[in-house]
Amino acid sequence: MTAALPKGGSAPLIPRDRTVHPVPFDPDYKTSVTRSPKYALLAMESTPTEETGPVFGHDLLGPLDSNLILNFTRGESPAVGERILVHGHVLDENARPVRNTLVEIWQANAGGRYRHIKDTYFAPLDPNFGGCGRTITDEEGRYQFLTIRPGAYPWPNRGNDWRPMHIHFSVFGSGFGQRLITQMYFEGDPLIRHCPIVATVKDRSHIDRLVAPLDFSHSKPHDFLAYKFDIVLRGRRQTFFENKPEGM
């Protein structure tokens, strides 16, 4: 007898290999000391709800939700910065497209400042940039965002640490058990090799999966450059989580 497939046609989830994920505790990443679990993790069986939901519809979205250059001013004024397109596929562990899944991003502005009450970096806020966007993948699992290249910013970790340019991603997948929260970096950024958060990923080839290459084939002349960032949810080729094991 064949096991029933969850909604969206995904095969049952293969247990995650925790040995390849970054360790949750890393003294060079100071906040991991207090954020990491104090006790051994308990494995729990997943439930049908976790493997089949959530389900998203395109009617959730506004016309500018995936355009961070314009969405904060509802199209009135563009954000300051280097215009870029970030695009890619969301695939499952069997290399099949993950369709109709919510992809959300958030990022600093071109000066490296977040629109957040706790961000006190003296780079100015851009009155035309909010820093958040969302979209839903199409039938081939594709997504894209128009945005500006985020600036690097300092953070009080070991005294003179700087985050490389990055965009935060949240991807739900076709089930909560696939949910991924991670960060995308930019090809050629010299700060990547100095970043303690990146360094929690110990394997160089795994870090490479978080670095989006420049993609001239999707750039638009006289308008924007493009970067390609494919995301694989679970499995041997998966995109790596931030510094903690997540999901099931």
CA dihedral 66→67→70→73, nearest 10 degrees, is 10
Q: Residues with catalytic annotation?
A: 114, 153, 163, 166, 168
CB neighbour list of residue 34: distance below 8 Å, 6 or more residues apart: none
d(CA 141, CA 134): 14
Which residue's structure tokens are 């992809």? 103
CA atoms within 13 A on the CB side of 117: 0
DSSP for 110-145, written as a single string? TTS--SSTT---SSPPPTT---EEEEE--TTSEEEE
List, in order, residues 6 or more apart from 185 with CB less than 8 Å away: 164, 165, 166, 192, 198, 210, 211, 212
Length of the chain: 248
195 and 163 Cβ atoms separated by less than 8 Å:
yes
Look up tokens 């069997």; give the residue: 94
CB neighbours of residue 16 within 10 Å: 19
